[in-house]
Structure 1
Amino acid sequence: MDVHSQEPFWLLKNGLLHSYPSLRQSLSCDVLIIGGGITGALMAHSLVQAGFDTVVIDKRDVATGSTSASTAMLQYEIDTALHELIPMIGEEGAVKAYESCLNAIGEINRIVKALKSRSGFKLKKSLYIAAVPDDEAFLRKEFESRRKHGFNVQWLNRKSLRNRFGLAAVAAICSSEAAEIDAYRFAHELLKASVAKGLRVFDHVEIQSTEYDPNGVRVLTQDLAMIEARNVIYCTGYESQEMLPGKVVDLKSTFAVVSEPLAELPPELRSVLLWDTQDPYLYLRTTDDNRVLVGGGDEPFKNAALRDKLIDQKRQMLTEKVRELYPDLAFVPDLAWAGTFGETKDGLPYIGEHPAFPHSYFALGFGGNGITFSVTAAQLIRDVLRGKKPDELHYYRFGR
């Protein structure tokens, strides 16, 4: 699947940071991770730290799929509002899902410090704004639900938003825990650190066939190399829908625009991530080279060609949205691109086993919380491989 258009910002900004060899010889391992994006990199880091002999393969250069097109906003706020998720899966599960994303931000912060990462990680506040006045009641209900369950939130009215953030909106929830990162660079840093501890990584590896036996999985590549693994973990994102027997995700096209670097970012903008109550929602962050990055305008995905034809139209729409929100900001669009992502019915990921794939696990962080869900998946699947049975897997199971 063509998961993004040409010229995603992070790939142009960083270039090809590292390439890995293709696989020409057969090998064996404890765990084979299929997919070398941010999810696979986080999974590999977790498993190598836990002592598993781990191999990562990717059909592209690593991290050049959806990871390179991600806006990489790290939030505990799931696409489905907490007060709406509670009646869907129960209060305990909904609160745990939000808490796991919150804890994931802290875990990424810890890893970033340990690696001395240069991935532009920054802790920020998150503003969830009412897109139109009629959404204020919905937003107030969400604020009360989060506050009831212990999340650190603050209600901001129109005057507060204007005075504190230079923002033209009627109301917002301000959450004190959020962050941003360059997911493409971070994925490369994770893989590099794990390779130093024994991880093996191979790119440009296509799978020709997969066989299951009582002891594990045998994967044959296009170059006739055989990989024998006790367990396989699929970190293949939205492309996993092509192999799963039933529909688990609605594929969407999303669009993003990044501005030219500003001489100086207003401090009130530099300190926050922003998203709104529209459906599809608008989202906005800054970068470490003083750009403003905005995304949204999602459309049902039909094919890559139709998606990419919409880029110019969406560039104009997103630019106008930024200028409406921040009338005093000199936003000049520089690059625009499109990517494909997926939405689930409840906004939650799919993590764990699937009955059609023995000795296999899936880490599919669909939706706007892909990276934080990937941290959760790496922790849960690591624990399963250690013989534990985490209760949280119930909420992320297939067939729910």
Structure 2
Amino acid sequence: MDLRSGKAFWPIQNGLIRPYPPLQEHQTTDVVVLGGGITGALVAWHLTRAGIDCVVLDRRDVAFGSTSASTAILQYEIDTPLTQLSRLLGEEHAARAYLLCLKAIRDIETLCHELGEDVGFQPKHSLYFASKPADVRGLQREHALRRKHGIQVDFWDEEEISRHFPFRKSAALYSQTAAEVDPYRLCHALLKAATKKGLRVFDRTEAQSWDTDDSGVTVRTDRGFDIRASKMVFATGYEAQSLLRQKVVRLRNSYALVSEPVTEFTGWHEKALIWETARPYLYARTTQDGRIMMGGEDETFRTLPIRERRIPGKQARLEEKFRDLFPEIPLETAFAWAGTFGETRDGLAYIGEHPDFPKAYFALGYGGNGITYSLLAAQMIRDMILKGHHPDWDVFRFDR
């Protein structure tokens, strides 16, 4: 599957940070992770750090799939509001998902400090504004329910918003906990740290099939070499749907751009992350080197040639929306691209076991906060392998 089109920013800015070899001999390990993007890297780092021998396999270059197209906005907020998620799954289940994502942002910050490398992590606040006046009542209910469960968030009316930003919206939620990161650098930093502890990484090698028995799994590759492991982890993102009989994700095309460096962010209060109640939603962030990164304009999944042709028009729409919000900030697009994006029925990730895949775990961080979900998947899978349980294992299960 072609996961992105156009000129994604992160690989261009960073280049090929570190190459990895293709698989050239049979391997034996405790866990084989399929997928060398940010999800696979987080899983491998957590497993290796816990003393679990691990091999990562990717059919592309490391971090060149969805990771390279990610805009890497880190939020505890799920694409499905807490009020709506409570109606779908029950308030206790929904609140637990939100609180886990809140903790995950703090855990990612700690992890980035432990790596000791600059991966572009920056703590941020987040503005979630009403796209239309009819959305105000929903934001009021959302604010009350989040506060009930101990989440620090402020409700801003139109006047409060206009005191901080150059645009007027009927209402907004201003959250204290959010962040942004360079996912490409983070992915490479995680793999680098893990390889120092024994992780083996092989890219440009495709897993073509796998067989399981009582003692484990054998992964067969397109290069004629096998990997024997006790467990396997599918960290293959949107491509995982092709393996599952169960429909778990609806694929979409999402569009993004990044600007040339900006010297003055006039009116952009605290350079907060920005998104809205409309679906699909517009979102915007800044980068460590002073650029504007924004995305949205999601649409039904289309094949590569069609998606390529639509990038210029989508770029123009994003630019127009940004100028409506921040008329005094000059926006000159440097790169624009499209990526595959997936939505689940309830906005939650799928993490855990599946009855059709013995000896395997899935780490599928679908939704707008995929990196946050990937961190949770890594922690949960580590604990399941080491301890046989995790207290929140049921939150993201396939049969929820």
**Which TM-score band applies after superposition, normalised by the shorter structure?**
over 0.9
CA-CA distance at 1:162 after TM superposition: 2.0
Q: Distance in 2 between matches of 1:238 and 1:49?
A: 27
Q: Which residue of 2 aligns with 1:369?
A: 369
**Pair 65,269 (structure 1): closer, same or farther in 2 beyond 3 Å:** farther
C-alpha contact (below 8 Å) 1:58/1:206 kept by paired residues? yes
Q: Which residue of 1 aligns with 2:167?
A: 167
The DSSP-based 3-state class of the residue aligned with 1:392 is coil
Q: TM-score, structure 1 length as denominator?
A: 0.98
C-alpha contact (below 8 Å) 2:268/2:326 kept by paired residues? no
Q: Which residue of 2 aligns with 1:195?
A: 195
Q: Which residue of 1 aligns with 2:298?
A: 298
Q: Distance in 2 between matches of 1:306 and 1:241?
A: 22
Q: Which residue of 2 aligns with 1:45?
A: 45
C-alpha contact (below 8 Å) 1:269/1:286 kept by paired residues? no
Q: Distance in 1 between matches of 2:203 and 2:32?
A: 13
The DSSP-based 3-state class of the residue aligned with 1:293 is strand
C-alpha contact (below 8 Å) 2:255/2:336 kept by paired residues? yes
Q: Which residue of 1 aligns with 2:354?
A: 354
Q: Residues 1-400 of structure 1 correspond to what in structure 2 (within 5 A)?
A: 1-266=1-266, 268-400=268-400
Q: Distance in 2 between matches of 1:135 and 1:340?
A: 28
Q: Distance in 1 between matches of 2:135 and 2:90?
A: 24
Structure 1 residue identity aligned to 2:264: E
The DSSP-based 3-state class of the residue aligned with 2:5 is coil
C-alpha contact (below 8 Å) 1:131/1:277 kept by paired residues? yes
Q: Distance in 2 between matches of 1:130 and 1:229?
A: 49
CA-CA distance at 1:269 after TM superposition: 4.4
**Pair 196,266 (structure 1): closer, same or farther in 2 beyond 3 Å:** farther
Unaligned runs of 5+ residues in structure 2 are none
C-alpha contact (below 8 Å) 2:349/2:396 kept by paired residues? yes
Most deviating of 70-79 and 387-396 = 387-396
C-alpha contact (below 8 Å) 2:96/2:395 kept by paired residues? no
CA-CA distance at 1:92 after TM superposition: 1.4
C-alpha contact (below 8 Å) 2:166/2:267 kept by paired residues? no
Most deviating of 160-169 and 69-78 = 160-169
Q: Distance in 2 between matches of 1:43 and 1:368?
A: 19
Structure 2 residue identity aligned to 1:96: R
Structure 2 residue identity aligned to 1:364: L
What RMSD, in angstroms, separates the aligned Cα atoms of the two structures?
1.2
Structure 2 residue identity aligned to 1:398: F
Q: Distance in 1 between matches of 2:164 and 2:64?
A: 37
C-alpha contact (below 8 Å) 2:264/2:329 kept by paired residues? no
The DSSP-based 3-state class of the residue aligned with 2:393 is helix
Aligned-pair identity in percent equals 49
The DSSP-based 3-state class of the residue aligned with 1:302 is coil
Most deviating of 111-120 and 26-35 = 111-120
CA-CA distance at 1:264 after TM superposition: 2.8
The DSSP-based 3-state class of the residue aligned with 1:395 is coil
C-alpha contact (below 8 Å) 2:125/2:270 kept by paired residues? no
C-alpha contact (below 8 Å) 2:164/2:267 kept by paired residues? no
Structure 2 residue identity aligned to 1:279: R
CA-CA distance at 1:167 after TM superposition: 3.4
Aligned length: 400
Q: Distance in 2 between matches of 1:143 and 1:19?
A: 46
Q: Distance in 2 between matches of 1:264 and 1:315?
A: 22
Structure 1 residue identity aligned to 2:163: N
CA-CA distance at 1:267 after TM superposition: 7.4
CA-CA distance at 1:168 after TM superposition: 3.2
C-alpha contact (below 8 Å) 1:168/1:326 kept by paired residues? no
C-alpha contact (below 8 Å) 2:9/2:258 kept by paired residues? yes
Q: Distance in 1 between matches of 2:118 and 2:269?
A: 21
Query: C-alpha deviations, 1:48-78, integer Å up to 9, x for none?
Result: 1111000101000000100010000000000
**Pair 394,220 (structure 1): closer, same or farther in 2 beyond 3 Å:** same
Query: C-alpha deviations, 1:163-212, integer Å up to 9, x for none?
Result: 22333322110000000000011000000011011111000011222111
